[in-house]
Amino acid sequence: MLQARGRFLLLENLTSSEASEVVILERCWVVEFKSKTDVSIILKFQSGEPDLYIEAASKPDCEAWAVALGEANSEGLRNKIQQLRRLIMEIKEERASEEAHQFLPSSQVDSLGEPQFTSIQRIANEPKLEFSLACKGLVAATRDRKLNTFIQVSVVHPAEHILTRYSSTEIVEGTRDPLFLTGVTFPPEYPIYEETKIKLTVYDVKDKSQDTVRTSVLPDHKEPRADVGRSFLGCATFRVGDLVKSKEQQLTLTLRTSDGGKTVGTIEVNLVKMGEFEDGEMDHITTDAQDQKFLCFLPLKSCSCGFLSATCAHNTENLERMTDRRAKEECALVRECTAPEGLSGKDNLPSLNAVLKNPICKLYRFPTSDNKWMRIREQMAETTLSFHVPKELINLHIKEDMRRNQELKDLGELAPHWDNMRKSVIAHCDQMLSMYQDTLAELGKHTGSSFKSSCSKGEKTLEFIPINLHLQRMHVHSPRLKDALYDVITVGAPAAHFQGFKNGGLRKLLSKFEAERRNTGYQCIYYSPENTAKAKEVLSNINHLQPLISSHADLLLNSASQHSPDSLKNSLKMLSEKTELFVHAFKDQLVRSALLALYTARPGCVLKKPAVPRSSAEESDDLKHQDHSSQIKRQDSIPHHSEYDEEEWDRVWANVGKSLNCVIAMVDRLLEKDNSSKTKEGESDPSAADCKVLHAGGDWYEQLYPLVITLKDCMGEVVTRAKQSMAFVLLQELACGLPQCLMLTLRRDIVFSQALAGLVCGFIIKLHTSLHDQGFLQQLHTVGLLVQYEGLLSTYSEEAGMLEDMAVGISDLQKVMFKVIEAKSEDFLPIITGRREHYVIEVQLPAKMFELLPQEIKEGKLLRMYPVLFNVGINEQQTLAERFGDTTLQENINQENLELLKEYYNLFTEKMPPDCLPHFQEQNDLKGLLENLHQNIQAKRRKNVEIMWLAATICRKLNGVRFTCCKSAKDRTSMSVTLEQCSILRDEHQLHKDFFIRALDCMRSRQTQGALNESDDPETGCLTDNKPTSRHFYPVALLLVSSHLLVVWLILSLALLLAKYQ
């Protein structure tokens, strides 16, 4: 039995009420297991005494004991006293603000009696308010103590009079005059006015490690205590209007204790504007750089933001190896945007606001090598395309599948074997169609955030939605350089998480499925994937061209009835072009062989010679054809059809061309007669000429009408036969692999949907930031856009399957084309058209922005995409894969995409002029980088992060779009992005070398993001559901010292997991 008495824990005997042992609760901390079933806690002592294990009766009792033991010491008592003092001071401030509210002038009260507040003037789409902070002369509790301080920023809203925590700075360690590199920024939508009060509270962090442990034992429904592990120094409050209207745009405030009596230092607040430079010498900063140590809070749970992150030192070490090579290769990166109007142009706002929403901004100031300040605004934004693109895509899938099912039904009468096969295929397709419709209906009901968090990646209704799709933007304002933007799209790896990875990903599943189709004796005809893709293309061309030809034929007759020679010529020209495309679509052996196969599937079919339908890729497979010829013989009781005429299709197909030639000849004859009649019009009176024109118009229509009808009839016969033959090919594809074929199609659609949403977002952002870059626009329509994906997935366990899905999804993006059109309404969201394996994304721009485009793009030229993926696993699972697993998958992907990158580079050098890139980007530089990348891929080094840096550099030099992906776009992604940003600041904007690590830690610190409450983080609370508890496993880094220990660890871990689930 246990009893707590203040700072003492009494251990009582079960037989008597006397205490057998007394534990003093000082210099100890509590560790609580987060499992829902475990009710045990551990009491650890700094003195090295043995741990004390305590078991409660229930989970609530366990949580209550954990909190009570964590507070039962002298430090906890002092913290309670400090907390009470702060609460008293906050109550005093609220009363003072209420009293001031009672005496507001009548001019600030509207007709409803609500106060009117003064808005802050700002530039459109820019933050409302930004300021930096610094302290001087802070007083410590003891004379010899060096302070480790940070500032917590809180906001008092004038309408509600409620104190709200907003953000915090980083921790500056070891000085009483801290200069904080992290500023405070309020986004455009934030309700802040001149009457708003801002409270600045300075804390001294005493024991960060103890703070982390004690906060972690709190129950999930309670807010972490703000006072644990840190002590209150002082606070100050100011009005926003005082800062904005101050002459020097600076305030010097006095820090006072909670009772308001003692002065503990001063705090300086400097208003920041990105377009202005900050004055002041940097000598005292650089000289004290060694004394001012930097400390950042590492989050207990990762968050979704690209720049809100911290992971284990193992990943940091691997990633930061990339920075060592920068002294060897001094190559500049492309400025994402150098035109001032491209940064904040008002014309960009409507279309950008339709795509981006809920921006989160952070402000930093870093010293340069010449002792000047540069300012960095880091912005992360969600995108509405996370849901818009998948919904549009699913809608297209539904229409395409409904059209395919109807085509299968229109095949006509089939023999019993083929008819049963058709019924089975249609039944399965209807089930899949119903699933797509249900998913679309559920997505239509979705409300809330515009992105899918990682804890939702296993939800079926959201499986088409990309994970954590965000724009990560860094806006740099340097003293001597032009403003620059650097964009990275962060997104979770496109993968079918709901379906799982037990049998691998798409890359393995597709290869296995194709091998089974070839080798298994299915009762159907085998067509290669190339032939089935060709069949889909023919059907798409038919559906697209047939209505166009019919409409142009009607326009031709209308021109004839109006006796308009010019209109007749134009209509004939358009009709001829579309009909030639129509005829050309059937110049393929596949159509001929599919017609023969369809004939053999009719009831009572008999061939004089058992001809076998042959595809262009499979004509040598005699054994398969022999099996088929034995299948197409029918019973004698079924009436036999006439023998199949192989030349009949050629005649039907040629009739379309002949009919078109007759129409052309007739139009030429009519125009020739019209020209000859005009020469004799002068000899006739006007009334006679009018009568002649009316009579001639009637003759034109009457002479052309039979020929046009014949053309339509011939075309209709060709369409009917071609549609049936191609639908029969698709029937074989589906029948040969039910239901695996449909499940693979579903998985591929899911992965492609996630990949396409990110691609559309990246293209739109790149287009907006580069509208004033004529070289980029020329490159866009001449060569295409390079899209580089940086993958950080391991090749171990489930992540290997994710990587396989991701590789196929990104490869499928090669079949996507973009077209830029002028927006006709206020809806600027992109429009998606097409079918599987051939989609066109129409990006809408306002009229003013559309006029900036080259003529080729304005005329609707399709823009090609060149996606490439380079993957390097960097976590501890990759260590296991490299030591005991297989990394062939990663090596093959990198090698294949290197060839694609070289292909794009060669195309770029052939079509683009040498002066299209900035002067520092010479062709030799790019060629050297490609050769270096090739060598690193061939080297097959473990965790070779050089590949990532080289690929990213080449992408930026070629004006490409950058993506960074890991499993959920959180820890590994943010570590990579922040390292890349700091490297750019150092190499491109002269970041002071002594501040590289400080800048890196500042961007990675979760504490600077104001995420003090777990409820503020959409990702918090999700990780424990998706990851196994770590209490059963020893640290991998320690076990890797010996391979024998690692084997023992694997065996024990497997045994524990089996025991848990049994």
Encoded tokens for 31? 């560790």
Distance CA 26, CA 860 (A): 75
Instruction: State residue 746 phi and psi, 5-degree precision.
Output: -60, -45
Closest by Cα among 649, 663, 648 to 580: 663
Q: Give SS3 for 828.
A: coil
Closest by Cα among 414, 393, 394 to 735: 414
SS3 for 605-632 is CCCCCCCCCCCCCCCCCHHHHHHHHHHC
Distance CA 895, CA 901 (A): 10
- Which residue in the list 303, 429, 455, 966 is annotated as catalytic? 966
Encoded tokens for 156? 């008092």
How many C-alpha atoms does 169 have within 13 Å on its Cβ side?
A: 30
Distance CA 439, CA 465 (A): 11
Distance CA 953, CA 973 (A): 17
> Residue 24 belongs to what H/E stretch?
strand 19-24
Sequential DSSP letters for 229-290 = TEEEEEEEEEEHHHHHH-TTSEEEEEEE-TTS--EEEEEEEEE--TTSPPPS--HHHHHTTT
Instruction: State residue 582 phi and psi, 5-degree precision.
Output: -65, -45
Distance CA 994, CA 980 (A): 17
Encoded tokens for 653? 């197909």
Sequential DSSP letters for 846-883 = -HHHHTTS-HHHHTT--EEEEEEEEE---SHHHHHHHH
Distance CA 733, CA 727 (A): 10
User: What's the N-to-C CA distance of the chain in angstroms?
Assistant: 32
Q: CA gyration radius for the chain? A: 36
Contacts of 160 (CB under 8 A, 6+ apart): none
Distance CA 976, CA 320 (A): 9
Distance CA 497, CA 809 (A): 14
Contacts of 991 (CB under 8 A, 6+ apart): 366, 367, 368, 369, 374, 982, 985, 999
> Residue 802 belongs to what H/E stretch?
helix 798-812
Instruction: State residue 784 phi and psi, 5-degree precision.
Output: 125, 180
Strand order from edge to edge, sheet including 28-32: 28-32, 40-45, 52-55
Distance CA 714, CA 201 (A): 84
135 noted as active-site residue: no
For residue 271, the cross-strand partners are 131
Closest by Cα among 1005, 995, 1016 to 974: 1005
If you ran DSSP here, which 8-state letter would residue 3 be given? E
For residue 23, the cross-strand partners are 9
In this structure, are residues 747 and 506 in contact, taking their beta carbons and an 8 Å threshold?
A: yes
Distance CA 961, CA 959 (A): 7
If you ran DSSP here, which 8-state letter would residue 919 be given? T
Provide the CA 804 distance to its chain's centre, in angstroms.
Answer: 18
**What are the catalytic residues?**
966
